[in-house]
Structure 1
Amino acid sequence: MPRVLERADGRWAWVVLLASLVTQALTVSFPSCIGIFFTELQRDFQASNSETSWFPSIMGAMLNGGGPLCSILIKHFGCRVTVMLGGVLASLGMVASTFSSSLIHLFLTAGLITGLGMSFSFQSSVTVVGLYFVRRRPLANALASIGISMGVTLWPLLARYLLETLGWRGAFLIFGAIFLHCCVCGAMLRPVATNVGPEPKEDPLLPPKIPTRSCLGTCVSSIQYHLAFDILRHNMSFCIYVMGATWMILGLSLPHTFLVPYAMNHGIDEYWAAMLISVIGFCNIFLRPGAGLLAGRKSLAAYRKYLFATAIFINGLTNLICTVSADFWVLLGYSLLFSLSMCGTGILIFQVLMDIVPMDRFPSALGFFSVLCGVASLISPPMAGWLLDKTNNDFSYVFYMSSGFLLSGSLFMGVGFYAAEKKTLKQDGQAKMEDPTSEITSTHDLTSEDKDSAKKQPYPKNISMTNV
């Protein structure tokens, strides 16, 4: 019996949006509360700053680095199964971590297994929003990302309460039960029909059929496809995006990890230190819908990538505030300004990628980007921890390092996008002069609902049926 497929931009799309919002609140925002347990874990396992920093780095690396495997699972099983599998893995990892007797055990359970599970659930929830929404995609991405803000608001407060009442082992056990709610969100994802056109005889998300080749050649071809190497070779904007955004990730997560220890190191009460992270998330709950409406305007579609680079640049500047003073009111003002810049970064990071690549190749492009982000997330906190050990716990250097990565990454993307756009316009002009009878159209190159932002994409957007 054939399955009934939901229509893109239909009523059920808003239910899927709610499921994605909750999934993002449960997964990608969870590392924001790890700083609450930093001092407790360091004391319990008698570890240094650099050694303890490997815990959030491994979790963040797996949260991002599981992208290619998540892309393969989405292709073969759909987003529904992948989200539910991620919830089960995340729960098992947290429950197993309560029995850890060393940091190595904690790295393997809460870091590796939970991080991989969160990766499956989170990246599938991002992909399914892009498939269900076409006309309102920027707004849908912004509304779904409110879940991240809600998570950043609630996770630190919950973690602080559970740590005081149950200890870190009891808190991790409760977290394992909470992650099972991803399975409920995954069950709400129905198959969706997108776009118009006849149903293809083969899955459009799979590589085209090729002649029989060796096992090694087949593996290499599959890896190249699922890591979007074809897009990387032909799409200059995608190259600029992944390089600049990966460099930016090296500094983006550091304030979430080290702001609470920094405040506590300067005499601020543990509760109020945790409140600083919650302020960032709470402000974003109200800022992101308005920012999403603004980013979704067609008049700004061609400038979204520049707005993304500007938001990162402002984010880097705000981190310098923490180097001036560790007074609570100064840090509170920093949290408010930081929330503004994080709002722009959060709603545009995936929307810009959807503008640059076609939606049928988005899971592969996201998988490749997430691998690079995973590497950046793996080395960033240990670098900061090593810097703290070498500077006798001077947190100012951590925020200097974060600002350096953010500012340089934003400048690279801004200049790179501008240069790539000028080069493409020049090539188009030369082509018209050489063959004035040819007509260059952009409808074949659409990568999103905005034609202005997709003129230069050489890949056709041609999805007619997607199994979510």
Structure 2
Amino acid sequence: MSSPDTADPYVQDGPYAWFRLAISILLSTIGGAGMWVVVIVLPDVQADFGVDRAGASLPYTATMAGFAIGNYILGRFVDRYGIVPPVIASAIFLAAGFSLAAISRNVLLFTLAQGVLIGLGTAATFGPLVADISHWFLKRRGLAVACAASGNYLAGVLWPSFIQWNLETSDWRETYLVIGIICLVTMVPLALILRRKPPESALAAGPSALAFGSQSTGLSPTALQALLVIAGLSCCVAMSMPQVHIVAYCVDLGYGIAPGADMIALMTGMGVVSRLISGVLADRIGGIRTLLIGSVLQCAALFLYIPFNGLASLYLVSLIFGLSQGGIVPSYAVIVREYLPAREAGRRVGLVMMSTILGMALGGWLSGLIYDLTGSYQAAFMNGIAWNFLNMAIMVFILFRGRPRVAVS
């Protein structure tokens, strides 16, 4: 006779949990369009609106700002109302944002559409989805979180090809309208599939220590959250140096734009592999140790960029960098579930995800500023390494304070 747990398909790690994960990955891949479309159409937007490169880059900055803030705001909605309302709102925001951007007659309106509507809409398909899926897994939580977070990278692999194909037969405005329609007609039905609430055991509410994760640091939830926010900011300041500036770096070295673009694709593809490997690893050794391994490897890869600047060497180092950094960000969601209250997972995961996105934005700007001041990217790499050391120090501090939590009856 089967036990109640094995007979019930809706328990943690059960068949429904894996089906729900597949839907979450699909949603994340579709909704992730908001992060990549504006990058692909940037030259066409610049020519259409008659602005300089800085002005044409502003919509991307606004998108990332909306994406960052949305991870926290919509994460709070997930804690209260579940994942379905935020994802349906995301579909509506994306459809409205792409439509408004498509009919914009100036870059200001286009930027507002990107930041307020598309940025917020994209956010629901990252941190909030990751937080939701974490409730449905226990034994394989690390792998599940990593898979859900990989949708963001899969979007970077699939959407640019679709956009380039569509631009061959239409302009960027029609492409935006098509993407808006795709988001609306696919995401709403997919969101409704996720209406089932997590098992009550996954939320573990109550006055005992079981209201929190399985690990404790002796720090207050607020103090630990603050440390994770600083860690998320610092690791992504370091991460942004190659991701944001590798194309410009290749141009400076005389290799041109194409190799730099290929290196970004290589980083993204290896990032998916890294996230899956890190997910399996997190299930075995925990989120802190997994993140620390990724952070150490990322730091080593950043060091390798300094002496090795041949074309073949840069491809190899970019491959190593992608394999090292991809699993870092999803590990924060695992850490939140290990150390902090389950019922607050949405807002707490969203807050850390927001810090990582802001770290990418800050790091990209800092690297450019350092380059302008020094005329070289060598100092910018060293700046990234310094921020990486800060991340590692915080992770080591939390690791050595960690201990199993004892339930209070």
TM-score by length of 2: 0.80
The corresponding residue for 1:350 is: 333
Quick one: structure 1 residues 292 and 377, their matched pair in 2 at CA, closer, same or farther if it must change by over 3 Å?
closer
Q: Which amino acid aligns with 1:317?
A: F
Structure 2 matches for 1:83-94, cutoff 5 A?
Answer: 83-94=87-98
Is residue 31 of structure 2 the alignment partner of residue 46 of structure 1? Answer: no
Is residue 13 of structure 2 the alignment partner of residue 27 of structure 1? Answer: no
State how far apart, in whole Å, the 2-side matches of 1:197 and 1:384 are. 41
CA displacement at 1:60 relative to structure 2: 1.1
The corresponding residue for 1:117 is: 121
Quick one: structure 1 residues 110 and 264, their matched pair in 2 at CA, closer, same or farther if it must change by over 3 Å?
farther
Deviates more, 1:254-263 or 1:188-197: 254-263
The corresponding residue for 2:139 is: 135
Q: Which amino acid aligns with 2:387?
A: G
Structure 2 matches for 1:168-183, cutoff 5 A?
Answer: 168-180=172-184, 181-183=186-188
Is residue 309 of structure 2 the alignment partner of residue 324 of structure 1? Answer: yes
CA displacement at 1:91 relative to structure 2: 2.0
Is residue 78 of structure 2 the alignment partner of residue 74 of structure 1? Answer: yes
Share of identical aligned residues, percent?
Answer: 18
Count how many residue pairs are aligned between Structure 1 and Structure 2. 391
SS of the residue 2:82 aligns to: helix
1:91–1:176 Cα contact (<8 Å) kept: yes
- The structure with the largest alpha-carbon Rg is 1
The corresponding residue for 2:215 is: none
Quick one: structure 1 residues 318 and 186, their matched pair in 2 at CA, closer, same or farther if it must change by over 3 Å?
farther
1:93–1:110 Cα contact (<8 Å) kept: yes
CA displacement at 1:296 relative to structure 2: 1.6
CA displacement at 1:136 relative to structure 2: 1.1
In angstroms, what is the RMSD of aligned CA positions?
Answer: 3.8
Q: Which amino acid aligns with 1:14?
A: W
The corresponding residue for 2:388 is: 410
Is residue 276 of structure 2 the alignment partner of residue 289 of structure 1? Answer: yes
Is residue 311 of structure 2 the alignment partner of residue 307 of structure 1? Answer: no
Is residue 176 of structure 2 the alignment partner of residue 191 of structure 1? Answer: no
1:131–1:194 Cα contact (<8 Å) kept: no
2:94–2:180 Cα contact (<8 Å) kept: yes
2:133–2:145 Cα contact (<8 Å) kept: yes
CA displacement at 1:133 relative to structure 2: 0.8
SS of the residue 2:138 aligns to: coil
Quick one: structure 1 residues 84 and 341, their matched pair in 2 at CA, closer, same or farther if it must change by over 3 Å?
same
Quick one: structure 1 residues 5 and 109, their matched pair in 2 at CA, closer, same or farther if it must change by over 3 Å?
farther
CA displacement at 1:340 relative to structure 2: 0.8
Is residue 348 of structure 2 the alignment partner of residue 365 of structure 1? Answer: yes
Structure 1 regions of 5+ residues with no counterpart?
206-230, 429-440, 446-459, 461-468
State how far apart, in whole Å, the 1-side matches of 2:157 and 2:76 are. 32
Quick one: structure 1 residues 194 and 126, their matched pair in 2 at CA, closer, same or farther if it must change by over 3 Å?
same
The corresponding residue for 1:444 is: 407
Deviates more, 1:348-357 or 1:96-105: 348-357
The corresponding residue for 1:247 is: 234
Structure 2 regions of 5+ residues with no counterpart?
1-7, 212-217
Post-superposition Cα deviations, 1:251-282, rounded to whole Å, max 9, x if no partner, equal 53454444456657856476x66444333333
Q: Which amino acid aligns with 1:278?
A: A
